[in-house]
């Protein structure tokens, strides 16, 4: 009689995760803040935006199309080129109506014209219709709301005024407001006009700049982002439900959202089994592998335009794409034109990395530095500066190791460009990494062929560019970058 051999295979059954929930704010942060600026004042470009960019903060600028490019009795104004540059840096340029007409004193036809005319010129000049709105004079009426709010993710209906000529803001009052927002787990929205121009000017602008620095240092607990992004998140959160199942190491989130996916595009965060998981509320069932060692880890990446990505969004970079592949929390601290050792803030490029790495969030599992390209020019033009560079490179590596004792730390060199002092800078980076046991990714040996004209024409952001890749150029580095992340 034949023996029948039974092989028992253990089954892994799906089970429902009962305590999964959508987070109140992105990445599980305690509160949210949107910094908003009214009236399209020139100060916003010359003074405010550089301070925001330096501190890694994104804001919303409400503009009136009739005033753009003008200087009137009230203030000097932004130009469309300035608006485009600010938008390219991740700020929101949105509508404050065409000519700042008081809607409480306007007819419905006048309101409709103010709204439509401003929407049209912003879309024509910036390529996207504004999806938020700020009422001139904060004059909100039922008639205006019926016209304004159609096709918007949100409108500003409350705000915390920040200024000194009229509001009399102090460091203490700004901090007290922020503490209240955090304690109450709220979305705080600020309203600021000009700095030295327009309404509610500042006698001591450093009060505001120092507040931005303190706000930046709280990014572990406070989500600071544009009005559109936070408004979208909140609306989606309040109109979405999720079903979560677990099978082995894999978790599947199935969302149901009742909003219009053509208008609402902000990812949501779910808290599942002690992890924060970002998901698309309109994306159908989405499965995540919890066994991935990089899953949910926090990455701080700091550097120059290799990190910021020049005139393109950093979401096109290889490091962002690799981080998102593994569902990491990604914090970008890049500044265009930045150096490891030399302060270039006097020409709009920010302080040296050695003087600003401490601004990075303390909560990091991995830290990556990408820099050195811009230091070569200073050293080549000033021989005495090579010693300064070496000292400050050493301080940067030592400081990051001290600030992040438990993090995996990596350093990426620039590409192999043909410029004076480039070999010396990359060799110094190699030696410093060896000294401090920092993992080095030598980009001089990557597939990026800077000296090939055809390669540059296809994969770089401009015909003479030697530093900034296109979206397709960054894709060439995905496998290379993935292996580097896993090695940290």
Q: Is residue 370 in a domain?
A: yes
Residue where one domain finishes, among candidates 219, 250, 267: 219
- In eight-state DSSP terms, residue 167 is S
Residues 352 and 445 in one domain: yes
Residues 66 and 194 in one domain: yes
Q: How far is CA 372 from CA 80, 119, 301, 397, in A?
A: 33, 42, 14, 13
Residues 352 and 390 in one domain: yes
Q: Which of 339, 341, 337 is nearest to 388 (CA)?
A: 341
Q: Which of these ranges, 324-338, 340-354, 451-465, has the smallest mean pLDDT?
A: 340-354
Does pLDDT of 151 surpass 60? yes
Question: Percent of the chain scored above 90 by pLDDT?
Answer: 81
Residues 205 and 182 in one domain: yes
Residues 125 and 270 in one domain: no
Does pLDDT of 3 surpass 80? no
- CATH code, domain with 86: 3.20.20.370
Residues 212 and 281 in one domain: no
Does pLDDT of 311 surpass 90? no
- Lookup: tokens for 71: 């200087």
Q: Which of these ranges, 156-165, 401-410, 441-450, has the smallest mean pLDDT?
A: 441-450
Q: Is residue 102 in a domain?
A: yes
Element at 60 (helix H, strand E): strand 59-63
Q: Which of 69, 120, 362, 414 is nearest to 220 (CA)?
A: 362
Report whether 460 contacts 470 (CB < 8 A).
Answer: yes
Q: Is residue 2 in a domain?
A: no
Q: How many residues does the chain have?
A: 488
Residues 448 and 351 in one domain: yes
Residues 350 and 396 in one domain: yes
Q: Is residue 401 in a domain?
A: yes
Does pLDDT of 11 surpass 60? no
What predicted TM-score, i.e. pTM, was given to this entire model? 0.84
- Say which residue, 1 or 189, is predicted with more confidence: 189
Which residues, in sequence order, are bridge partners of residue 451? none
Residues 325 and 211 in one domain: no
Q: Is residue 205 in a domain?
A: yes
Q: Is residue 5 in a domain?
A: no
Angle 385-403/422-435 helices, nearest 10 degrees? 30
What's the confidence (pLDDT) of residue 13?
62
Q: Is residue 4 in a domain?
A: no
Residue where one domain finishes, among candidates 267, 289, 311: 289
The torsion angles phi and psi of 216, rounded to 5 degrees, stand at: -60, -35
- CATH code, domain with 454: 3.40.50.1110
Does pLDDT of 419 surpass 90? no
d(CA 396, CA 345): 18
Among the residues of 256-317, which ranges form H helices? Answer: 305-308
Compute the average pLDDT of residues 158-175.
98
The domain in which residue 285 lies consists of: 15-22+237-289
d(CA 334, CA 324): 17
Residues 58 and 150 in one domain: yes
Residues 181 and 259 in one domain: no
SS3 assignment for 412-464: ECCCCCCCCCHHHHHHHHHHHHHHCCCEEECHHHCCCCCCCHHHHHHHECCCC
What's the structural domain count of the chain?
A: 3
Residues 420 and 453 in one domain: yes
């Amino acid at each position: 009689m034949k023996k029948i051999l039974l092989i028992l295979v253990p089954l892994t059954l799906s089970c429902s995760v009962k305590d999964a929930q959508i987070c109140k704010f992105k990445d599980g942060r305690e509160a949210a803040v949107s910094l908003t600026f009214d009236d399209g004042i020139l100060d916003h470009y010359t003074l405010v935006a550089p301070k925001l960019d330096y501190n890694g903060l994104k804001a919303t600028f409400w503009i009136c199309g009739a005033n753009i490019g003008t200087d009137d009795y009230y203030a000097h104004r932004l130009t469309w080129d300035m608006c485009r540059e600010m938008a390219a840096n991740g700020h929101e340029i949105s509508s404050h109506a065409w000519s700042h007409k008081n809607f409480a004193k306007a007819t419905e036809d006048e309101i409709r014209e103010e709204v439509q005319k401003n929407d049209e010129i912003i879309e024509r000049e910036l390529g996207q219709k504004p999806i938020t709105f700020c009422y001139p004079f904060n004059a909100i009426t039922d008639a205006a709301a019926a016209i304004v709010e159609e096709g918007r993710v949100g409108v500003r209906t409350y705000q915390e005024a920040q200024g000194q000529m009229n509001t009399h803001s102090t460091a203490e009052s700004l901090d007290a407001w922020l503490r209240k927002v955090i304690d109450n787990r709220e979305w705080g929205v600020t309203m600021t006009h000009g700095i030295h121009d327009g309404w509610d000017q500042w006698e001591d602008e450093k009060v505001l700049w120092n507040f931005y620095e303190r706000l930046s240092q709280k990014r572990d607990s406070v989500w600071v982002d544009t009005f559109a992004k936070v408004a979208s998140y909140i609306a989606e959160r309040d109109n979405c439900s999720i079903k979560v199942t677990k099978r082995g190491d894999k978790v599947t989130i199935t969302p149901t959202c009742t909003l219009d996916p053509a208008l609402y595009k902000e990812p949501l965060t779910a808290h599942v089994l002690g992890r924060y998981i970002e998901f698309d509320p309109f994306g159908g069932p989405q499965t995540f592998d919890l066994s991935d060692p990089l899953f949910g880890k926090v990455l701080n990446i700091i550097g120059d335009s290799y990190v910021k990505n020049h005139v393109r969004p950093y979401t096109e970079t290889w490091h962002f794409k690799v981080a998102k592949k593994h569902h990491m929390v990604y914090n970008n601290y890049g500044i265009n034109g930045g150096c490891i050792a030399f302060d270039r803030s006097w020409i709009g490029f920010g302080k040296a990395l050695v003087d600003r790495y401490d601004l990075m969030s303390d909560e990091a599992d991995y830290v990556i530095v990408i820099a050195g390209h811009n230091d070569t020019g200073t050293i080549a033009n000033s021989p005495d500066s090579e010693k300064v560079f070496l000292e400050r490179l050493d301080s940067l590596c030592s400081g990051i190791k001290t600030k992040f004792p438990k993090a995996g730390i990596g350093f990426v060199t620039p590409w192999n460009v043909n410029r004076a002092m480039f070999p010396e800078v990359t060799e110094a980076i190699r030696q410093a990494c060896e000294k401090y046991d920092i993992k080095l990714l030598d980009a001089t040996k990557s597939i990026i062929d800077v000296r090939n004209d055809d390669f540059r024409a296809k994969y770089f952001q401009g015909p003479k560019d030697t530093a900034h890749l296109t979206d397709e150029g960054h894709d060439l580095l995905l496998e290379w970058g993935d292996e580097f992340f896993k090695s940290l």
